[in-house]
Amino acid sequence: MLSDAAIGRSPSVDDSVRAEGLRPVSIDLCQASNPIAKLSDCRNGTLPRLGKRIDAAMRTAIAKAGPHAAPLIKRDQTWFSDMVASVAEDVSDDAATIKSMLQERLAALEGISAGFGRDGVVGLWANAFGTIDIEPARDGSVRAAVVTASVYAPDDEQHYTCGIAALLLRPTPEGWLAGTPESTDAPGTDDRKPRAIVRLRRQGLTLRVVAGDESRPHDTSGLDCTRDINQVTGTYFAWGGSGAAAAKPPAADAPSFDCQQPKTADEEEICADPELAVNDRRLDRAWRQLLPRLDPVTRRLFAEDQREYARSQALQYLDYLHPSSAKETWMVHHTGLGRDWLYRVQLERIAALEGFEETRRGFEGLWMANNARLMVTRGDSGRLTAYGDKWFHNDRKGGREYDIAGTTKGYAFKSDHERTNPDTLERDHGSLVVNRFDDVFAKRRYKADGTPINSSDEPKCKRNGTISSTARLFPVRPSPDIETSHDSR
């Protein structure tokens, strides 16, 4: 993530990206403004009493969790509260679903309070969405069964369940236990090395589970899911005291910032996942190694881009956790999708930092910013062509594509297209500015009341003429970790 001091970032955090463990965790569903307040289970005190018992169990769990796990159990509780609140919005005359959810959560929290400090991975683990039960096997392997069940409305259409009955997970060189349902791991299958759809590893007092890759298809043999395996991914907490107690709490892989006080939701996710934490340290190290190599102007310009990267990472993690594109299921916690996006965007930024070409001359090569990419090539005739795109965080329809062609004389570029506001490429110290003047033109295309202004300048962003295509990009080497298309963003 990079520390505030490393990039000169303000320590204040916008409420829209604030860590979810900082939200209130108290369960209070029977307020007068709540649709269920008039139901008998509220009026006779049944739900309020359950809420108070859950609050007490939560305080006990937080006290036992320790500094690293406490923010994560708080986050888990806010996600449970989100689900209950979603159900409460649709309840008309029956609070049975809510009552059942509260009873199950109370049992889970009481079990989790007894489980902190357990050693190894064997045993039962739980979170707001489900459980994973792990038994020892041979040669350091384990067998596991996963059951997730989350409810966002009383009707079955908003119930998300997934079961993996038989997982054989083997140790990997990276320190994880990984594997597939045993039914897909048999000799004679077409895929001799089936892709591991489930991985798990201790992260301090918690267990991190990563299921599949939400952006790619996976073999679903051995799965019983009404939707997908998305919510199998997450942080799990030991349930009950079965298993050996650790003489010393296992250490968690630490990122570049303090996981005792994560400020944003994406920082919580990085703290929860050892792989994301290692990526964060690598990103921080690459940034610090790059800075001394840059001239003062480029350093200042790239620091601005890095600040915007940090801000956009926080915004977009939440957008993938609750994807705006999933209009009917945006309230669902897409934990696998959010984690997968964060992992890939970390690798992309690391590739940009480690592959920064501060000595590049001219225009040719790959250029990147936190929200834009451009590949510039020179043909046999000496003409330049540039293809790429610019995207806008939290606006999936706001992006635009670059398709630029022209000639150069020294460091001067001349577009092939004659127009009032032509495409431009301009070197500025260690950066490349694309369409510098479009910022000004975009502001002139519409009046304050939204009325378009007649102009001979055609908007470069077709969907919205007020959007500017201006971007400042930086020279990086191509890498497999750098996305070739950002349409999904």
Last residue of a domain, one of 246, 280, 314: 280
Which two tokens mark 347?
Answer: 């690798």
237 and 369 inside one domain: no
Span of 104-118, 187-201, 340-354, 435-449 with lowest mean pLDDT: 187-201
139 and 36: one domain?
yes
β-bridge partners, 234: 209
Domain boundary pick from 251, 280, 309: 280
Q: How many whole angstroms separate alpha carbon 272 and alpha carbon 267?
A: 9
Q: Among 146, 114, 274, which residue's Cα sits nearest to residue 204?
A: 274
Q: Is residue 300 part of a domain?
A: no
**Maximum distance among all Cα pairs of the chain, rounded to whole angstroms:** 83
Q: Is residue 358 part of a domain?
A: no
Identify the bridge partners of residue 199 per DSSP, sorted by sequence position. Answer: 178, 210
- Within-domain flag for 448: yes
Q: Are residues 390 and 245 in the same domain?
A: no
Give the alpha-carbon dihedral of 94, 126, 233, 123, to 10 degrees: -150
Report yes or no on 296 lying in a domain: no
Q: How far apart are CA 275 and CA 255, in angstroms?
A: 10
List, in order, residues 6 or more apart from 76 with CB less than 8 Å away: 127, 128, 235, 237
**Residues 6 or more apart in contact with residue 49 via CB below 8 angstroms:** none
Tens of pLDDT, residues 278-313: 999 999 999 999 999 999 999 999 999 999 999 989
Q: Which of 232, 255, 280 is the last residue of a domain?
A: 280
The tokens for 270 are 């990085």
Based on the structure, what is the number of domains in the chain?
Answer: 2
For helices 265-272 and 274-290, give the axis angle rounded to 10 degrees.
110
* Judgement on whether residues 265 and 380 belong to the same structural domain of the protein: no
Distance of CA 357 to the CA centre of its chain: 28
Which domain range does residue 418 map to? 365-476
Q: Which residues contact 289 (CB under 8 A, 6 or more apart)?
A: none
Model's pTM, two decimal places?
A: 0.89
Would residue 481 count as lying in a domain? Answer: no
Question: For 184-199, how does the pLDDT look when each residue is reduced to its tens digit (9 = 90+)?
Answer: 444 444 444 445 589 9
In a domain, 487, yes or no: no
Length of the chain: 489
**What is the predicted pLDDT for the residue at 488?**
41
Of 463, 449, 339, 329, the C-alpha closest to 401 is 463
- 259, two tokens: 């996981």
Question: pLDDT above 70 covers what percent of the chain?
Answer: 83
Token pair listed for 25? 């965790």
Domain shared by 236 and 114, yes or no: yes
Q: What is the pLDDT of residues 319-349, one digit of tens each?
A: 999 987 787 888 999 999 999 999 999 999 9
In a domain, 116, yes or no: yes
Q: Are residues 276 and 369 in the same domain?
A: no
> Is 292 within the bounds of a domain?
no
Helix (H, G, I), strand (E, B), or coil: what is residue 404? strand
The separation between the first and the last C-alpha atoms of the chain, rounded to the nearest angstrom, is: 19
Co-location of 275 and 369 in the same domain: no
